[in-house]
Amino acid sequence: MQIRTREFVPRATFALHDPNLQRALAKAADGFIGKRAKAIAEVPEFEALREAASARKDEILSELDLWLERFEARVRAVGGQVHWARDAEEARAIVLALCRRAGARTVAKGKSMVSEEIGLNEALAADGLEVIETDLGEYIVQLAKEPPSHIIAPAVHKTKEQVAELFAEHHGGPPKTTVPELVTEARLQLRRKFFRTDVGITGANFLIAETGASVIVTNEGNGDLTQSLARVHIVTAGIEKVVPTLEDATLFLRLLARSATGQDSETYTTYSMGPRRADDPDGPQEYHVVLVDNGRSRMLGGPWRPMLRCIRCGACMNHCPVYGAIGGHAYGWVYPGPMGSVLTPLFVGLDTAYDLPNACTLNGRCGEVCPVKIPLPDLIREVRHAQQRDGLHPPAEQRAKALWRRAAERPALYHGLERLAVRLLATLGRKGRIRRMAGLHAWTDARDLPAPSGRTFLELWHAKGRDE
Amino acid sequence: MNEPDPLDPTLAARRRDTVLGAIRRNLGRDAAPPAPEFPLPPVHPRITVPDEDLVERWRRRWEARGGTSALVPTKASAVEHLIAWCREHDLPPPTHAARPLLELPWPADWPLDPGPAGIDTQSAVSLAFAGIAEVGNLAFLSGPESPVTHLFVPDNHFILLDAAAIVRHFEDVWQRLRQHLGTSDADWRERLPRTINFVAGPSRTGDVEQTIQLGAHGPRRVHVVIFSE
């Protein structure tokens, strides 16, 4: 997928002025937050589950090599193959070679964020393969030639009318007006494609070392038709997805659906272990798992390791006021919102994705809702520190900070400037608010600045001391 | 055309060593830590399932997600129930069934095929491996007698579930699975099916304006008949 993180500011500005997007985002945020809250209220053990999941994931990550080797051995034992890819290019080459070897012409895809990360669709299409996204949201953005804007609801930025127009353009016939009509239309279109697909590619929510299983959860059943009707099933997964046992997968699944969609489980949870058995009447003849590193092993070593706990539920972005205002496309790459503000700079470069962590308000909601307790606000701050160390902050900001530091090191000067500033600001206030301020339009256009009382905290403190 | 073949075993082994090496380097050691083959399943927190009737709880949660269910006295009497159900709801009779169900007293004009479902398959009958009361869903094992396509292709899916197969937690399913597959002289993992499928009602999507719509790709209607023997 093309990296457009440098366009964060213009894309965010554009998003803020797109009425369709604003309508869609407002609706989505209400839905996601309310449904999750309701699901969690029913489970008094939720906090205990978060604790256990976070600790367990750390344990697994500290023995990641061991569990990956065990996983590989079990996949072989059930008749499948594991392929290791150091980076995106190798992962694409492996999948492409598997498709070629199978003589494939049509590839059906279930939802997989890793496949977006490695730019798989573009590579397959460039090789002349027909690639069909089968998750309804992914199918919609594929028709629109757009990337997904949310990791679990890829078309969350589209209104019903926009979907209807897209379908009419691609399927023919008059635009449909209701959601049931649209879903039925997509079902019938995709049904025909499932039955003539050669290769089915899915992601994996988890890999299980004990059984060699890849686990996917879906509500639509698309991932299951994808893998059951194709001749070859290819799984693309990050190396951090492995867990030791079935019981471990259960622990994380109890958190995943509740955090993502507010369901107690998704409609379908499927454990796939190898190709069809000798007497099986259906299922794929080949089973391949492509394990993608692409920078993950490096993350194990530094302060970023907790980020590898992520189970891709999307709760952080659903609760992020910045994501809620600008949507996923503004972030310019695969992973949006708070998790993306940490992951994207680590994947594509601290400079290339400079704006992402700096757009964060550090309100802390993402960290509070994360089911595996990733300290997202701390990590976002850590990315900013790393950017500062690399001298990436803009010159104007660096000069301003240097100036501030010089003042702050001289208390008398600092307090003098402060006294001046609060008196000046107080004169601008009406009823305690500053509604408009020269040079700060970007801020005051959208909200009021609270006006100070006219005296600094220290002045008030000393006055209070005298009174008592 | 002289590009190296990405599937070449030597290259593949080198890639594997590089990735594992990078992991170990970043974890600060040279080799994988020694550990027992598979430690006992870890005990994680569970979700409390109150001490109530599991069948009742299972049905309540199943039906809350858009599935339907009925209780019948015996496995054979499920047939009569399904005939009435199809008539009452104007549904096409099943054309496909899991092999173990073929022995039931089906009507002569319901010829049931144990083979995989095809693009025109409207309706199939399956036998569940377990029901889980915790969330109200079903577990299936794929195999020669139970095609996996029966679960996802038809519009209408009928499922027979033994009341005794309803367990409290997911962990109970794993335990049952290990017992079911294991033999005195073989590891349970030698007999793993290709898939273990959990199903929690009809297929659904919320991808258009977060409006929940049933029947996205899989069955629109899923009806469970619970029998006791």
Q: For residue A213, how many other CB atoms are within 10 A of its CB?
A: 27
Judge whether A171 is closer than 8 Å to chain B, CB to CB.
no
Judge whether A221 is closer than 8 Å to chain B, CB to CB.
yes
Residue A442, token pair as written in the block: 């970007």
DSSP readout, B35-97?
Answer: --SSPPPP--------SS-HHHHHHHHHHHTT-EEEEESSTTHHHHHHHHHHHHTT-PPP-EE
Q: What is the mean pLDDT of residues A448-456?
A: 88
Q: What angle do CA B100, B106, B109 make, to 5 degrees?
A: 125
Answer with the one of A393, A426, A453 that is the final residue of a domain.
A393
CA distance B107 to chain A (A): 25
My answer on whether A28 and A105 are in the same domain is: no
B29 pLDDT band (50/70/90 cuts)? confident
Confidence at residue A440, expressed as pLDDT on a 0 to 100 scale: 80
My answer on whether A36 and A88 are in the same domain is: no
Q: Cβ of B194 and A77 within 8 Å? A: no
B159 pLDDT band (50/70/90 cuts)? very high
d(CA A224, CA B194) in angstroms, rounded, equals 12
Answer with the one of A232, A262, A297 that is the final residue of a domain.
A297
My answer on whether A342 and A423 are in the same domain is: no
Q: Does residue A195 or residue B29 have the better pLDDT?
A: A195
| HSE-up of residue A274 (Cα within 13 Å, Cβ side) | 24
In a domain, B151, yes or no: yes
**Closest B-chain CA to A179:** B208
Residue whose tokens read 């020669």: B144
My answer on whether B28 and B129 are in the same domain is: no
Compute CA distances A237 → A294, A455, B32, B66, whole Å: 11, 58, 21, 32
Q: Cβ of B193 and A267 within 8 Å? A: no
My answer on whether B61 and B1 are in the same domain is: no
Domain boundaries, position A14: 1-42+316-393
Size of interface A-B (CB pairs under 8 A): 268
Tens-digit pLDDT profile for residues B201-216: 999 999 998 889 999 9
In a domain, B41, yes or no: no
d(CA B89, CA B77) in angstroms, rounded, equals 19
**Which chain A residues contact residue B15 at CB under 8 A?**
83-86, 90
My answer on whether A213 and A358 are in the same domain is: no
What is the pTM (predicted TM-score) of this model?
0.94
Q: Does residue B88 or residue B1 have the better pLDDT?
A: B88
Tens-digit pLDDT profile for residues B58-110: 999 999 999 999 999 999 999 999 999 999 999 999 999 999 999 999 999 99
Confidence at residue B176, expressed as pLDDT on a 0 to 100 scale: 96
Q: Cβ of B152 and A45 within 8 Å? A: no
Domain boundaries, position B27: 1-34
User: Are residues A115 and A203 in contact, defined by beta-carbon separation less than 8 angstroms?
Assistant: yes
Pick B198's closest partner by Cβ from A134, A269, A299.
A269
My answer on whether B58 and B30 are in the same domain is: no
Q: Cβ of B210 and A282 within 8 Å? A: no
Tens-digit pLDDT profile for residues A322-348: 999 999 999 999 999 999 999 999 999
User: Are residues B128 and B160 in contact, defined by beta-carbon separation less than 8 angstroms?
Assistant: yes
My answer on whether A206 and A236 are in the same domain is: yes
**Which chain B residues contact residue A96 at CB under 8 A?**
6
In a domain, B131, yes or no: yes
In a domain, A287, yes or no: yes
**Which chain B residues contact residue A158 at CB under 8 A?**
208
**Which chain B residues contact residue A83 at CB under 8 A?**
7, 12, 15
Res. B37: pLDDT tops 80 = no
**Closest A-chain CA to B21:** A65
Contacts (Cβ under 8 Å, ≥6 apart) of A228: A200, A282, A283, A284, B148, B149, B152, B195
CA distance A48 to chain B (A): 7
Q: What's the longest Cα–Cα distance across chain B?
A: 69
Compute CA distances A227 → A188, B45, B152, whole Å: 18, 32, 11
Judge whether A418 is closer than 8 Å to chain B, CB to CB.
no
Answer with the one of A264, A297, A330 that is the final residue of a domain.
A297
d(CA A410, CA A415) in angstroms, rounded, equals 9
Res. B151: pLDDT tops 90 = yes
My answer on whether B16 and B97 are in the same domain is: no
In a domain, B45, yes or no: no
Q: Cβ of B208 and A300 within 8 Å? A: no
My answer on whether A84 and A130 are in the same domain is: yes
d(CA A79, CA A278) in angstroms, rounded, equals 11
In a domain, B28, yes or no: yes
Confidence at residue A278, expressed as pLDDT on a 0 to 100 scale: 95
Judge whether A180 is closer than 8 Å to chain B, CB to CB.
yes
CA distance A277 to chain B (A): 7
My answer on whether A95 and A209 are in the same domain is: yes
- Going by the DSSP 8-state scheme, the letter that residue B123 receives in this structure is E
Confidence at residue A255, expressed as pLDDT on a 0 to 100 scale: 98
Pick A45's closest partner by Cβ from B48, B149, B215.
B48
How much of chain B exceeds pLDDT 90, in percent? Answer: 86
**Closest A-chain CA to B174:** A246
CA-closest candidate to residue A368, choices A359, A378, A360: A378
Q: Cβ of B47 and A134 within 8 Å? A: no
**Which chain A residues contact residue B135 at CB under 8 A?**
264-265
In a domain, A15, yes or no: yes
In a domain, A160, yes or no: no
Pick A86's closest partner by Cβ from B15, B142, B205.
B15
Q: Cβ of A248 and B42 within 8 Å? A: yes
My answer on whether A31 and A143 are in the same domain is: no
d(CA A296, CA A313) in angstroms, rounded, equals 18
In a domain, A308, yes or no: no
Confidence at residue B2, expressed as pLDDT on a 0 to 100 scale: 64
My answer on whether B1 and B93 are in the same domain is: no
CA A208 from centre of chain: 22
Residue A269, token pair as written in the block: 């949870």
B185 pLDDT band (50/70/90 cuts)? confident
A437 pLDDT band (50/70/90 cuts)? confident
d(CA A110, CA A135) in angstroms, rounded, equals 6
Amino acid symbol at A227: Q
My answer on whether A99 and A224 are in the same domain is: yes
d(CA A246, CA A448) in angstroms, rounded, equals 53
How much of chain A exceeds pLDDT 90, in percent? Answer: 86
d(CA B139, CA B159) in angstroms, rounded, equals 11
Q: Cβ of A136 and B65 within 8 Å? A: no
Contacts (Cβ under 8 Å, ≥6 apart) of A93: B6
d(CA A228, CA B150) in angstroms, rounded, equals 10
DSSP 3-state percent helix, strand, coil across chain A (nearest 5): 55, 10, 35
Q: Cβ of B200 and A221 within 8 Å? A: no
Judge whether A52 is closer than 8 Å to chain B, CB to CB.
yes
My answer on whether B15 and B80 are in the same domain is: no
CA-closest candidate to residue A209, choices A246, A251, A240: A246
| Total number of domains in chain A | 3
Pick B137's closest partner by Cβ from A265, A280, A283.
A265
Res. B1: pLDDT tops 70 = no
Q: Cβ of B15 and A229 within 8 Å? A: no
My answer on whether B116 and B6 are in the same domain is: no
Confidence at residue A128, expressed as pLDDT on a 0 to 100 scale: 97
In a domain, B189, yes or no: yes
Q: Does residue A253 or residue A23 have the better pLDDT?
A: A253
Residue A273, token pair as written in the block: 């272990």
A3 pLDDT band (50/70/90 cuts)? very high
d(CA A317, CA A314) in angstroms, rounded, equals 6
Residue whose tokens read 């606000």: A377
CATH of the domain at A134: 3.40.50.10420
**Strand (E) or helix (H) holding A247:** helix A246-260
Judge whether A192 is closer than 8 Å to chain B, CB to CB.
yes
In a domain, B44, yes or no: no
My answer on whether B104 and B167 are in the same domain is: yes
Residue A134, token pair as written in the block: 């089968």
Tens-digit pLDDT profile for residues A113-148: 999 999 999 999 999 999 999 999 999 999 999 999
d(CA B147, CA B131) in angstroms, rounded, equals 19
The residues that bridge with A109 in the sheet, in sequence order, are A133, A201
In a domain, A55, yes or no: no
In a domain, A168, yes or no: no
My answer on whether B84 and B185 are in the same domain is: yes
Res. B33: pLDDT tops 80 = no
Residue whose tokens read 């594509």: A348
Confidence at residue A454, expressed as pLDDT on a 0 to 100 scale: 87
Q: Cβ of B203 and A274 within 8 Å? A: no
ipTM over 0.90: yes
Residue whose tokens read 């195999």: B143
Q: What is the mean pLDDT of residues A48-76?
A: 96
Q: What is the mean pLDDT of residues B210-227?
A: 95
Q: SS3 for B117?
A: coil
Confidence at residue A348, expressed as pLDDT on a 0 to 100 scale: 95
Judge whether A181 is closer than 8 Å to chain B, CB to CB.
no
In a domain, B42, yes or no: no
Residue A60, token pair as written in the block: 């697994």
CA A133 from centre of chain: 18
DSSP readout, A196-217?
Answer: T-SEEEE--SEEETTTTEEEEE
d(CA A23, CA A43) in angstroms, rounded, equals 32
A426 — phi, psi (to 5°)?
-60, -35
Confidence at residue B39, expressed as pLDDT on a 0 to 100 scale: 66
How much of chain A exceeds pLDDT 70, in percent? Answer: 100
Confidence at residue A442, expressed as pLDDT on a 0 to 100 scale: 77
Q: SS3 for B150?
A: helix
C-alpha dihedral sign at A115, A101, A105, B155: negative
In a domain, A303, yes or no: no
Q: What is the dihedral of CA B82, B85, B91, B97, to 10 degrees?
A: -10
Average pLDDT, chain A: 95
Confidence at residue B129, expressed as pLDDT on a 0 to 100 scale: 98
Average pLDDT, chain B: 94
CATH of the domain at B81: 3.40.50.10420
Strand residues in A298-435 grouped as ranges (E): 433-434
My answer on whether B3 and B98 are in the same domain is: no
Confidence at residue A453, expressed as pLDDT on a 0 to 100 scale: 85
CA-closest candidate to residue A355, choices A337, A370, A341: A341
B36 pLDDT band (50/70/90 cuts)? low
Confidence at residue B45, expressed as pLDDT on a 0 to 100 scale: 95
My answer on whether B97 and B159 are in the same domain is: yes
My answer on whether B70 and B169 are in the same domain is: yes
User: Are residues A277 and B214 in contact, defined by beta-carbon separation less than 8 angstroms?
Assistant: no
| Total number of domains in chain B | 2
My answer on whether A210 and A343 are in the same domain is: no
My answer on whether A275 and A389 are in the same domain is: no
Confidence at residue A64, expressed as pLDDT on a 0 to 100 scale: 96
CA distance A216 to chain B (A): 10
My answer on whether A118 and A235 are in the same domain is: yes
